[in-house]
Every structure is written in C-alpha cells, then in structure tokens.
Amino acid sequence: MPPSLSLAYSTCPNDTFIFHAMTHGLVDCCGLSYSTTLEDVETLNLNAIEQRYDITKLSFAALGFLQNSYGLLRTGAALGRGCGPLIVARSGATINQMRSALIAIPGEHTTANLLLGLFLKDQLNFKTPLVTAMTFDQIMPAICERQVDFGVIIHEGRFTYQNYDLVSIADLGQWWEQKTALPIPLGAIAIRRDLPEHVKKTVENTIGASVRFAFNHKDAAGDYIKQYAAEMSETVIEQHIELYVNSFSSDLGEEGSRAVNRLFKMARQADLLPDSNAPLWACKA
C-alpha cells in the first residue's frame, strides 16, 4: 500500500477546480495516495489547530497562528488582485459607525477577519471591533434581517451582495493593494512540518501538476465543482474560479512570498498575530 495522507480543502469552486485532477487519478501522485475531506474554510482552520490533517487549506491568517506545526506550500494558494473581502451593510451605513456596530465575520481565524482588524486600525485607529462569527453564506441574510450591522463577505458574495440590497462600504483587497502594491494573500495550502522532506516536496509538485491540468482541461472538473457548489449559477462559478485561481496558484513565486511576509509582518506589528521563529515554507525550493 502506498502511503496515504489526509488532505482537506474547501467546497469552494477554486479548491475543487484545483484539486480535482489530483484526487481523481488524472495526474501522477508519485506513489502517494490521499483521503480527502471537504469543509468550510473556518472549519478547516479550527481542525488544523488540532493538526487533524496532513495537508490542509488554511486562511493565511490561520497559518500565521500555526506556523510551528504547518508550513506553506508554494502551490495551490489563493492570492490575487481585485479579489479581497468586502465590508457590506444596509444602505446609508458609514465606516465611522463600525466603532460601535456589530460586525459579522466568516470566522475568527480567517484572513478576512485579520484584514478587518488591519483596516480599522489604519482608518479609525481602532482594531478591536465587536464581531460575531458565522459561516460566510449566513452573513448577508443576517445583515438584511438586522441581526448585525455590517458584514465581511468572501467567496461568491462579491458577486451577489447587491441581490440582497446591500452596499459595499469598503473593499479590503483594494485597501491592501493601495497600501502595499502587492497581491492579497487569502488562502494557503499547508502541510505538517513533521512529515519527511521528500513527501512534502512530492505533495507540492503534485498540487502544481493538478493546477496545470485544471488550466489545460477547464471543463474536466465541472461536475465535481457543481457537486459542492449546488447553489451557484454557472456564471458565478466561472467568475469565482477566474478571480481566485491564477499564476500564484501554480507557484507563489517571489512576489507572492513578499505579499505573505508583508501580511504577517503588519499583523504582528499590530498584535493581531503571535510571533513565530518558524520558517514560512514547508520545504526547500
């Protein structure tokens, strides 16, 4: 029996698009096999605290908390421009009202929550908002039902918030890009540090091959993607993939590395992430 590794990623179209080939025998896994679990990204973040999976999708914010146990792989990540979380609210709301408002976030350990703290510190010199965590698909209905005042939305919410008669108060990705001139790091693929070096490198290369297969055979994963994105239209699925899967998914590269290090540095300076002496990467280039 080949070694079997536990692999966890989200149900979002960008992840199912990326991992389809790797988990369906369409690329060479070099003697490794994988048992897969698909969960909401914040569930993945929380499970990683218990080191439940060998390889897992994480919010970059969660990786910042878990650097001692997980290292970053260079393939499979979600970085980009024009793809950051949005702060949305009912019509008439302003940023200044966020000092005393209840804000829905898609999870305590999400990059969206980390960016919210950095943004409010920068704009209002205020980094401890009153937040409540819920799954990302609950946020917009909660605003409409006046359960919360503001929400930080991710994923396909960028394309659908206007359907709820909500307005965008701030684009956290746009703020980040103006502040740093770098792409925004959103989701990472991380692997346990205690795995052998050759295993970590093989996994990294296999994910890269799966990304390349996905780019070269864009329709191959269609049914698999729709299986987990049942409530999305084909148009929204296509927009989602185009936004979150790009050259950084193939290889973070030098610019992607600078973006991740900048995010962690800013967050640690703002006391929003703990210090860590662990290296960023799981394995050598």
pLDDT at 230: 65
Tell me the C-alpha distance between 214 and 217, whole Å: 5
Angle 165-168-173 (CA atoms, 0-180°, nearest 5)? 145
Q: Which region, left, alpha or beta, applies to residue 85 given φ > 0 means left and ψ of -120 to 50 means alpha?
A: beta
Q: How high is the mean pLDDT in each 10-residue block of the chain (285 residues)?
A: 83 96 96 95 94 97 96 96 93 92 94 95 85 92 96 84 93 95 96 95 97 96 90 83 92 96 96 93 86
Please name every residue paired with 157 in a beta bridge, in sequence order, or none if there are none: none
pLDDT at 1: 40
CA angle 17/258/47 to nearest 5° reads 50
* Residue 54 contacts residue 42 (beta carbons within 8 Å): no
- Rounded Cα distance, 272 and 118, in Å: 8
The catalytic residue positions are 155
CA–CA gap between residue 249 and residue 188 (Å, rounded): 9
CB atoms within 10 A of CB 235: 9
Dihedral sign for Cα atoms in the order 197, 199, 203, 208: positive
| 208 vs 76: CA distance, rounded Å | 7
Threshold 0.75, pTM exceeds: yes
Domains, the chain, in order of start with CATH, read 4-80+183-269 (3.40.190.10), 86-180 (3.40.190.10)
Q: What is the pLDDT of residue 231?
A: 67
